[in-house]
Structure 1
Amino acid sequence: MSNIGDGVTLASDDTTVDSNSDADSSYGDGDGASETTSLKSSIYNYQYRNGRRYNGFRAGEYLWPNDEQQLDQLDIMHHIFNLTLDGELFLAPIGKHPQRVLDLGTGTGIWAIEFADRFPSASVIGTDLSPIQPSMVPPNLQFEIDDCCEEWLYTKESFDFIHIRLMNGAVADWPALYAEAFAHLKPGGWIESVEGNGIRSDDAWGKLIIRSGDEVKQDLRGAGFVDITERRFKWPIGGWCKNERLKEIGTWNRLNFEQGMEGWCWSLCTNVLGWKPEKVQMMLAEMRLMLRQKGVHAYNEVVFVYGRKPSAKISADG
């Protein structure tokens, strides 16, 4: 995994970064104070566009903002995931005592924090391009600034569980990412990849970010995973469902979209599609109006796909 230099880990006060030679993380020694200063600058030198804040490290690789507005949206979505799974954090059958767990694209770190609290047996690592995670975390959790799309430097076959959630728009080569995950999972270890689709409409940005569950299953199978399982959940957008549980999910999900859609659209529409800001603002206004109309039964879908690394290599005869 490509880290900044040989790798940096956020210190406990998350305002400094240190070069870390901990063998458990497979990091080497840094090249001195001047390099560390430069690395810190690249991490915290955020970019600002259209009034929104974006990551400075690997600028442009992640399309969505990392400012407070977007972080609040991520935590809202985490709450919807909890409602969807009745408080569970994952679906993969990883067992009760995982030892090493990796959360790729940890974002605000909320999933990793809750996982570390629930599984004190586990050493949990959360990685992200942005240092936006809190400093007060469980002792068995550490956050690292990292680009999971580069070569991984962790010890091979060292993780029990690798968790990936909401990374659409951040990964250019999914088969390569799953291949790295396969190589770094212990035999019998599990991967879970979770993504959400856009609003069910003809909007361009929704089409661009959708990866179907069939694609995920195919990529996981191509990487060597077995026992691949897919589960889909529909999330209403708004409180239009008669079912009380879905009505609650829908109410939160409308807030999720209203909080997040500006950030989801700006870079994609202006940098990728070449739209002018006025056109983006017009589309956002139309979407907000649509989401608030009582007669519109909008929804989106989240897809969980998980698979297992085989426990032992199968011989050519077998």
Structure 2
Amino acid sequence: MSKRASLARITVAYVVAFGVAATWLAFGPDTEWRWLDALIADLIGTVVVFGFSRAYRNSSCYDAYWSVVPPALTIYWWVSGDLPADDPRGWLMLGVMLVWAVRLTGNWVYSWPGLAHEDWRYPLLRGRAGRAEAAVDLVAIHLVPTLQVFLATVPAYVVVSHGGARGIGWLDIVATVVGLGAVLLEFVADQQMHRFVRRRAPGQVLDRGLWSWSRHPNYFGEFGFWVSMALFGVAAAPADRWWLFAGAAAMLAMFEGASIPMMEQRSLERRPGYRDVIGRVPRFVPRPPRRVAG
């Protein structure tokens, strides 16, 4: 199947998922909380995408859901709430989020070959589950990431739920700079990786540019974006600062506890020079590489 045909099928899957979720929000029973209504709709949409993943036997159908849902949630919360349409904090936050979403989704569209390709981690997880592979597919590959992204997006709900009660301040500027800086870091890291993949020799390791300062600069940038969302939430509701970083912390736990270890193990198995890179290049937080004694 061609890439164009594959993207058309993914588009249909997402249109159906968003349509079913929107129908639930419009006609389903309401709870007392808009955040909970949105969470239920988000989970329903995830189950729809899961259905397409099973139909196409490819869990990468879910991959772009990560980046397209947060703006949809934020816009729903804004439109259904009382935040003025000209609220500057809301627009700053949504602007940063849209830049992130367009860049990340665009990078996925560019790098995804089509339905003939599936992220190598998904068959690995399903294979380890044996007869429970369908349950692992639903829970670990679809529902858990949805819950993590939702939790990390909750600061946006806090921003649009406070009705512009607090004027824009220095923390909003910090959040904007951190968010856009994180997106820029991800963009540069991905561009460097794309160029490397086109030219690399078998077993070669990328340890130039940003990848000489961090073995996973794209994950660090992703974490930085979610920190910026939490900062916007703190700017809107300082009293809630004790829990607003929970989503960013969940992202960090996933990167450090699952994503990075799996990537590291795969690189060690496939690239003989990667152990040397581990000795020189920091794992996550970018900093100058260590000097190796001659």
Which TM bucket (shorter chain)? under 0.3
Considering fraction of residues, name the structure with more strand: 1
Q: How high is the TM-score relative to the length of structure 2?
A: 0.26
Considering fraction of residues, name the structure with more helix: 2
Q: How high is the TM-score relative to the length of structure 1?
A: 0.25
